[in-house]
């Protein structure tokens, strides 16, 4: 088949490579000029896709980067994987998805399959996306074209093969479901059909909100156990020996990235639309959003015990990315912590082996990790536990270390 994949980000690029590797001809639509040029040069900007994979699929002409749909010939399938962020008041923002859909509406022909991969709220495909497409194109969903929703299950940096992850699929009608089931059956080892787009949309939010809620639970416990002189990480490790009824989650400085902080508000929007108010989701968001401030309070208390004030102190922040093993700083708690420290009068330096000095936000002083930087800091704050950080140097050269990730098992290290 010929496929147009709109959006080559954390969802779109790995999925596009998987589709091309399965023998389809894929036109990779990327409107960001820097990303487009990177794809044309076979330079991957994601940890989950290698340069070699890009070279292989580009060389065999199955992966064709383009800067817009105008460059794409008539195709059988359109896959939309554009961002769906939040508005300033924490409501779903589908404007980027709508613009991509409008472009598809200009060129789609009868018989095409249109697959939405972006995270959306339950009911969006049936009540918003398909009607918008029909108005713009004059084509009827389920009659002229087929609409399907298939939520991504991408976890950047995880050592797994995308095609090995069961692929959830749904359609607006039986013919649409069969179309996406057949198409993705050529790409993924297991395709899991569900009865409606609403079920698939809700499933995506359930999967991520499940993680978000459990992280909020252990984050809340961590505030109490530090006062009780109990190691919550040891408690979690001990509980993990139980072979049933328990799944470990770990506390930290906050929840970053695009999906988890985003999806809890998409689910909240869906529940509010149905007339339900979730105190639990609201409380979880408050707890996770409070963690950067809690980290700063712990750091200030540790400095005070040593006769130092946070104002005027030099703080070295280890890790800017939202999680280990990725070069993605979206919604990273490290950025919130560093910004708050600066506002409180601290001299903040940051280092991240994945982002490098050139890619750290200008608001902070970016440095390479050295023994001299550690010795010159009043406190070292480990926020993102990249394996590439030189922890031996940190331990040997730092006076005060606050570990937010449980990475450093040493008596002199303070744990969050």
| DSSP letter string, 236-268 | HHHHTT-SSS-------S---SSHHHHHHHHHH
Per-residue pLDDT tens over the stretch 101-131: 999 999 999 999 999 999 999 999 999 999 9
Residue 390: name the closest of 415, 402, 411, 408 by CA: 408
Per-residue confidence band for 161, with pLDDT thresholds at 50, 70 and 90: confident
Whether residues 266 and 185 fall in one domain: no
Per-residue confidence band for 360, with pLDDT thresholds at 50, 70 and 90: confident
Whether residues 169 and 261 fall in one domain: no
285 close to 260: Cβ distance less than 8 angstroms: no
Whether residue 141 lies inside any domain: the answer is yes
- The CB density around residue 195, as the number of other CB atoms within 10 Å, is 10
Whether residues 297 and 411 fall in one domain: yes
Give the H or E element holding residue 310: none
Per-residue confidence band for 362, with pLDDT thresholds at 50, 70 and 90: confident
The enclosing domain of 360 has a CATH number of 3.40.50.720
Whether residues 184 and 97 fall in one domain: yes
Point out the domain boundary residue: 169, 195, 221. Answer: 195
Sheet with 63-66: strands ordered across: 63-66, 25-29, 2-6, 77-80, 113-116, 146-149, 167-171, 191-193
Point out the domain boundary residue: 195, 228, 251. Answer: 195
Whether residues 166 and 253 fall in one domain: no
What tokens does 12 get?
């779109």
Per-residue confidence band for 159, with pLDDT thresholds at 50, 70 and 90: low
Whether residue 65 lies inside any domain: the answer is yes
Q: How far is CA 68 from CA 1, 65, 107, 342, in A?
A: 19, 9, 12, 41
Whether residue 204 lies inside any domain: the answer is no
Point out the domain boundary residue: 138, 166, 195. Answer: 195
Whether residues 153 and 274 fall in one domain: no
Q: What are phi and psi of 5, to 5 degrees?
A: -110, 115
Whether residue 219 lies inside any domain: the answer is no
Per-residue pLDDT tens over the stretch 226-260: 899 999 999 999 999 999 999 999 999 999 988 88
Distance CA 366, CA 356 (A): 8
Whether residues 247 and 189 fall in one domain: no
333 three-class SS: helix
Whether residues 258 and 166 fall in one domain: no
Distance CA 211, CA 218 (A): 11
For 293, the domain range is: 236-415
Length of the chain: 416
User: pLDDT averaged over the chain?
Assistant: 95
Per-residue confidence band for 355, with pLDDT thresholds at 50, 70 and 90: confident
Whether residues 261 and 401 fall in one domain: yes
Distance CA 207, CA 144 (A): 33
Q: Is the pLDDT of residue 291 over 90?
A: yes
Domain count of the fold of the chain: 2
pTM as predicted: 0.92
Whether residue 293 lies inside any domain: the answer is yes
352 close to 382: Cβ distance less than 8 angstroms: no
298 close to 416: Cβ distance less than 8 angstroms: yes
381 three-class SS: strand
256 close to 331: Cβ distance less than 8 angstroms: yes
Whether residues 307 and 160 fall in one domain: no
Percent of the chain clearing pLDDT 70 (strictly above) = 99
Whether residues 247 and 149 fall in one domain: no
Whether residues 190 and 261 fall in one domain: no
């Amino acid at each position: 088949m010929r496929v147009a994949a709109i959006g080559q980000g954390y969802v779109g690029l790995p999925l596009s490579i998987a589709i091309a590797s399965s023998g389809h001809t894929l036109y990779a639509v990327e409107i960001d000029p820097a990303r487009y040029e990177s794809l044309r040069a076979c330079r991957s900007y994601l940890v989950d896709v290698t340069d070699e994979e890009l070279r292989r699929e580009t060389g065999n002409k199955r992966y064709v980067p383009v800067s817009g749909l105008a460059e794409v010939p008539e195709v059988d399938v359109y896959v939309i994987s554009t961002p769906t962020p939040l508005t300033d008041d924490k409501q779903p923002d589908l404007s980027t998805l709508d613009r991509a859909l409008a472009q598809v509406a200009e060129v789609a022909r009868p018989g095409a399959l249109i697959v939405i991969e972006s995270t959306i709220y339950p009911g969006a495909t049936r009540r918003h996306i398909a009607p918008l497409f029909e108005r713009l194109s004059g084509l009827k969903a389920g009659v002229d074209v087929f609409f399907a929703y298939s939520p991504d299950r991408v976890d950047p940096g995880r050592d797994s093969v995308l095609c090995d992850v069961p692929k959830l699929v749904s359609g607006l009608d039986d013919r649409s479901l069969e179309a996406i089931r057949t198409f993705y059956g050529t790409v993924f080892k297991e395709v899991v059909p569900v009865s409606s787009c609403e079920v698939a949309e809700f499933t995506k939010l359930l999967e991520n909100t499940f993680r978000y809620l459990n992280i909020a639970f252990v984050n809340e416990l961590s505030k109490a156990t530090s006062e009780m002189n109990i190691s919550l990480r040891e408690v979690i490790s001990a509980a993990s020996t139980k072979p049933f009824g328990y799944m470990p989650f770990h506390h930290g400085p906050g929840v970053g990235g695009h999906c988890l902080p985003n999806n809890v508000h998409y689910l909240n929007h869906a529940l509010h639309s149905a007339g339900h108010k979730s105190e639990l989701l609201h409380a979880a968001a408050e707890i996770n959003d409070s963690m950067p401030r809690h980290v700063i309070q712990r750091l200030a208390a540790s400095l005070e015990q040593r006769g130092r004030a946070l104002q005027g102190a030099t703080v070295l922040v280890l890790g800017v990315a939202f999680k280990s093993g990725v070069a993605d700083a979206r919604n990273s708690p490290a950025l919130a912590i560093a910004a708050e420290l600066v506002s409180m009068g601290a001299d903040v330096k940051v280092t991240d082996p994945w982002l490098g000095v050139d890619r750290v936000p200008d608001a902070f002083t970016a440095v390479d990790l050295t023994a001299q930087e550690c010795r010159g800091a009043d406190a070292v704050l480990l926020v993102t536990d990249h394996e590439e950080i030189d922890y031996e140097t940190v331990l040997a050269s730092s006076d005060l270390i606050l570990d937010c990730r449980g990475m450093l098992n040493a008596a002199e290290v303070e744990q969050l």
